[in-house]
Chains A and B, each alone.
Chain A
């Protein structure tokens, strides 16, 4: 496959940045998208040019490191996969592919296609945990009976890898799918109920503080989420937040 790539290049956080065109040839349809970028970078390095900076780690679709807004969609045109699991067979010979960083004021660009997603870490730190005695006498979690339906929903919510595709896809750059998933994962389980009131209040307060936009229920986040996190998690967070504020 021969492709034209239009890639966002930005030297650092203060640089204005611009789209730069690259031609790449002999791309195998069996390559992953990131392998295709690896080939491009090898070519750039051999020509003495600066390689394109992009985030990646496990390349198995589970770490949430890779990002990229490809042809107008977070993680590209495929569904239920991260960019590392997107394969070049999804594109056609002669295609022009736009590659941009995830855009949100709360996700500032560090370099090229790499954005700072530490806002998610700060939201998580605000309440995305349970306080457990870890001094050696921790009670086995399985000792507490949990309704199967709740356990399944909690597990589904917990599959969120925090990649930020929800924010990138949302026209408002809202982080409510991410926060909804993190709130739900604990709210559905007895261990998480103990701190449920403080958790949802603190996580929502941090989310607002970080400058994410407000959810208008377009559902783009749910469609683009590589883990299929459901909008039901946002509805659950809204309920949790209301009840938390009523309780005081």
Chain B
């Protein structure tokens, strides 16, 4: 197996496996966020668990950060390598005749999503680390001490229309990324022929349904508070 991940197909597997991991994470993230619409208490409980349970914080979180960085860096490396495989471009190329815009622009949609993730880190992750591990407040309570802070913080975040706009844009691009990426990941690990019939429908449900769900959460809080 030593040379496997240095080969073109090995890199496809690496790219696909990191994508599948991130897609599972996204589903879990959505499952918690949607609780904020139906039950602020349940959202607070789930957020507190995720924010304080050691296995999530010190095992899953580093794996997630590594997964995001790996997926992007590998995508970028493959793009450079692929550009070298055609040094002279066509004068006229009709890409729309044989492939989707999404499939040809994964780096662009991925870069927009990554830019959003950087903002998300600055906006959410760094303040969380500051409160929990710099200030040492692991209670998850509001400064007044009356109840958990997570739901209040989420509602506050979605007050700013600029943040909501950036959020919506990022999830539209994520949807475009997933419309190709979901089935592409299964094709890369060789599962195409097994799942082909159901894959297209499942990919569309996931790639459109999940980002729309995230956008709904943002707009719901923006317009109801």
Contacts and interface: CB of A to CB of B under 8 A. Distances in A.
B189 A238 contact: yes
Contacts of A173: 82, 85-86
Contacts of A235: 187, 190-193
Interface residues of B, number: 43
B88 interface: yes
A173 B84 CA distance: 9
A97 to B, nearest CB: 9
By CB atoms of chain B within 10 A, which of A8, A100, A207, A217 has the most?
A217
A73 B94 contact: yes
B92 A98 contact: yes
A246 to B, nearest CB: 7
Contacts, number: 141
Given A214-B78, A214-B82, A238 B180 contact: no
Interface of B is mostly: helix
B135 interface: no
Contacts of B104: 171, 218
A130 to B, nearest CB: 22
Contacts of A25: none
Interface residues of A, number: 49
B87 interface: yes
B9 A213 contact: no
B94 A71 contact: yes
Given A173-B86, A237-B9, A216 B91 contact: no
By CB atoms of chain B within 10 A, which of A98, A100, A235, A242 has the most?
A235
B188 A217 contact: yes
A6 to B, nearest CB: 7
Contacts of B91: 6, 8, 19, 98, 100
13 contacts: A103-B89, A173-B82, A205-B7, A207-B8, A208-B8, A214-B12, A215-B12, A215-B188, A217-B183, A219-B98, A224-B98, A235-B191, A238-B12
Interface of A: 6, 8, 19, 69, 71-73, 77, 98, 100, 103-106, 169, 171-174, 176, 204-205, 207-208, 211-220, 223-224, 231-232, 234-239, 241-242, 245-246, 248
